[in-house]
Amino acid sequence: MNFIEIILAETLKDADPALDVTGSDRKVLQVACEDLTNYLKYHWNLVATEANQCEIVERLEQFFKENPAELEEFLAMWTGNWFKKWKERVKLLIGDQNANSWNRASKTLSNAEPLWKQLEHKQEIREVIAATLIKNGEICGTEILSENLLKLELGDKRVQHLKDKERILNVVNNALRKARDMAQSKGPLIFVKIDKGYYNPENP
């Protein structure tokens, strides 16, 4: 575990002692780490720069050395806000619940994969969209949502290839507009499909 994972694991456990962030709830920690990284990139003006995870970790470690109490206070506040958003934004789909909506979105995302793999500067574009979500008050699932917004736009049948720069610009602009709208919406945005057997106590 890197420094971000270690400090977030502790604050997540403080927020909800029932969480097993190193076991069955590891995904919660993973998403929280992505979100905190995107949040810090936005507030430290590192969006779409060459700053990587190591630089973020180094800055946090320095902050911890200089003022551990202030960092602890910030993390407790950020994690509390993030957790509220997590409960609002993440919904588990059990079995075939909402199957039609799930299948439609999955098909569009699947159609986008070939173009997604070829897309240049995807990380920078994704960071700009994540920053738009954060700027508009969304701090949970920013990595997942920004990637899916891009893929859903790319998966639209009007985008045939990546040589059409104007169309790609439209894709990015549409994703940014939808990110602004999404951040101001209410209710779940991230749907996690769970097999019925996961909640069957008779299963081993």
Give me the helix-helix angle, 26-43 and 3-15, nearest 10°: 110
Tell me the per-residue pLDDT of 73-121, one tens digit each, with 9 for 90 and over.
Answer: 999 999 999 999 999 998 866 655 555 555 677 788 888 888 888 888 8
State the Cα–Cα distance between residues 92 and 90, nearest whole angstrom: 7
Instruction: Record the tokens describing residue 126, joined without a space.
Output: 């994704």
Instruction: Give the number of other Cβ atoms within 10 Å of residue 183's Cβ.
Output: 18
Tell me the per-residue pLDDT of 137-160, one tens digit each, with 9 for 90 and over.
Answer: 999 999 999 999 999 888 876 666
Indicate whether 201 pLDDT > 50: no
Which amino acid is it at 158?
R
Quick one: pLDDT at residue 183? Answer: 94
